[in-house]
């Protein structure tokens, strides 16, 4: 199934969650944060979706007020792919974890927590992954600064 | 030319053997310089070049350099690769675990000054000499095996100039080309003619 074929199915199954095609990328769907993790559990277990594989999850920082999570799912059974994007408020981004659905979400989410400061509720072990444990701040936020950071001269 | 012609030593033949008289400095330095066992660790892309230099084509063994997997048995630390702030305390700890005399070669731009991560990099230590003393800096990204061998020869030459009870000479900088290294002026004259293949 392609994203526009997923759209009506998801809309009827989850009437309380908002879905729309991503205007920037026709191969992606935007959804509201209220659908996590039920939509993902359905996408993994429903035979018509059968998304066995969470390819990656990552985040994009859109200052001043938006932080976008990106999930890419793949099905070995049907050989189709679906990219889901969730907008979060930038000042306090919190979202339920997917670590109980796909094991690799564990470290992906630790990385997002480390570099973007997204808090994943229900995560089994939410510690920094890349930076030292005592590091302050989240380096991939666009307004990040650090004494060690020398700007590149133009 | 035999080995005995090259050493500043006096050989006294006695019935049933011989006695070699040589300066203590020379003997200690020669022993250290001929068996620089380096610690087996690499941090980034430069480590690939370090491995290539250790393998058969370039062959560290002919300098008496054998890798050791523990700091307790190592004399030389080749810091090969990007040293992140997270890794820096570990490298300092490894350096402290090595027994004296210990030597450090900073290989590549990253360990020398931060390399490609100098600008806009928040997580990279800008120069390993900020945490441990460095004897030889090798420029390059990554340095070719020739440049690394050149650095090791410079390291040997520096060890041979050690004087008992005196501080070590200044750090040597190896240019990225495979040309012959130059000892900075002001360092003490060598005991022996530096017959270094270029
Ligand atoms: S100096 Fe260049 S080759 Fe060496 S570790 Fe740094 S980036 Fe990699």
The verdict on the CB of residue B115 being under 6 Å from ligand 1 is yes
Q: Is A153 on the interface with B (CB under 8 A)?
A: yes
| Of B43, B78, B106, B116, best ligand 1 pocket probe by most atoms within 8 Å of the beta carbon | B116
| pLDDT over 90 (residue B78) | yes
- Give B149-171 pLDDT, tens digit per residue: 989 999 999 998 888 888 888 88
Q: What is the mean pLDDT of chain B?
A: 83
Find where tokens 């594989």 sit: A53
Its pTM surpasses 0.90 = no
Chain B CB contacts of A132 below 8 Å: 85-86
CA distance A87 to B122: 27
| pLDDT over 90 (residue B103) | yes
Give CA separation, A119 vs A67, B63, B117, in Å. 12, 53, 29
Closest B-chain CA to A129: B86
Atom of ligand 1 nearest to the CA of B112: 1
**pLDDT of the residue at B180:** 54
Closest B-chain CA to A133: B86
CA distance B55 to B57: 6
ipTM associated with this complex? 0.77
- Min CA distance, B138 vs chain A (Å)? 23
Q: What is the pLDDT along chain A (154 residues), one digit of tens a residue?
A: 888 889 999 999 999 999 999 988 888 999 999 988 999 999 999 999 899 999 999 999 999 999 999 999 999 999 999 999 999 999 999 999 999 999 999 999 999 999 999 999 999 999 999 999 899 889 999 998 888 888 888 7
Chain B CB contacts of A149 below 8 Å: 120-122
The verdict on the CB of residue B45 being under 6 Å from ligand 1 is yes
Share of chain B above pLDDT 90, in %: 39
Closest A-chain CA to B87: A132
B63 C-beta neighbours (distance < 10 Å), count: 17
- Give B105-124 pLDDT, tens digit per residue: 999 999 998 888 888 888 99
Q: Is A140 on the interface with B (CB under 8 A)?
A: no
Give CA separation, B154 vs A81, A140, B33, B151, in Å. 56, 41, 10, 5
> Phi then psi for A105, rounded to 5 degrees?
-65, -25
The verdict on the CB of residue B110 being under 6 Å from ligand 1 is yes
**pLDDT of the residue at B2:** 59
């Amino acid at each position: 199934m392609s994203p526009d074929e997923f759209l009506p199915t998801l809309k009827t199954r989850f009437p309380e969650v908002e879905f729309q095609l991503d205007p920037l990328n026709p191969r992606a769907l935007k959804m509201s944060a209220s659908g996590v993790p039920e939509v993902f559990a359905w996408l993994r277990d429903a035979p018509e979706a059968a998304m066995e594989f969470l390819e990656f999850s990552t985040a994009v920082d859109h200052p001043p007020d938006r932080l976008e999570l990106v999930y890419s799912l793949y099905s070995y059974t049907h050989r189709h792919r679906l990219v889901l994007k969730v907008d979060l408020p930038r000042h306090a981004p919190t979202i339920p974890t997917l670590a109980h659905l796909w094991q690799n979400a564990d470290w992906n989410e630790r990385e997002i927590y480390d570099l973007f400061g997204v808090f994943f509720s229900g995560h089994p072990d939410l510690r920094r992954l890349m930076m030292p444990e005592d590091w302050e701040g989240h380096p991939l936020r666009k307004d990040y600064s650090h004494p060690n950071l020398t700007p590149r001269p133009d | 030319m035999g080995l005995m012609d090259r050493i500043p030593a006096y050989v006294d033949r006695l019935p049933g053997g011989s006695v070699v008289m040589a300066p203590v400095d020379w003997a200690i330095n020669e022993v250290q310089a001929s068996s620089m066992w380096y610690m087996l660790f690499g941090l980034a892309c430069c480590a690939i070049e370090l491995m290539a230099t250790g393998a058969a084509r370039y062959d560290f063994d002919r300098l008496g350099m054998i890798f050791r997997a523990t700091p307790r048995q190592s004399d030389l630390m080749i810091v090969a690769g990007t040293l992140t702030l997270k890794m820096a305390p570990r490298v300092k700890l490894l350096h402290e675990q090595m027994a004296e005399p210990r030597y450090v070669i900073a290989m590549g731009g990253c360990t020398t000054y931060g390399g490609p991560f100098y600008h806009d990099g928040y997580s990279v230590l800008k120069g390993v000499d900020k945490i441990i003393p460095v004897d030889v800096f090798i420029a390059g990204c990554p340095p070719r095996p020739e440049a690394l061998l050149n650095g090791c020869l410079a390291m040997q030459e520096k060890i041979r100039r050690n004087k008992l009870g005196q501080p070590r000479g200044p750090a040597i900088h190896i240019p990225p080309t495979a040309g012959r290294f130059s000892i900075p002026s002001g360092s003490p004259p060598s005991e022996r003619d530096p017959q270094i293949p270029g």
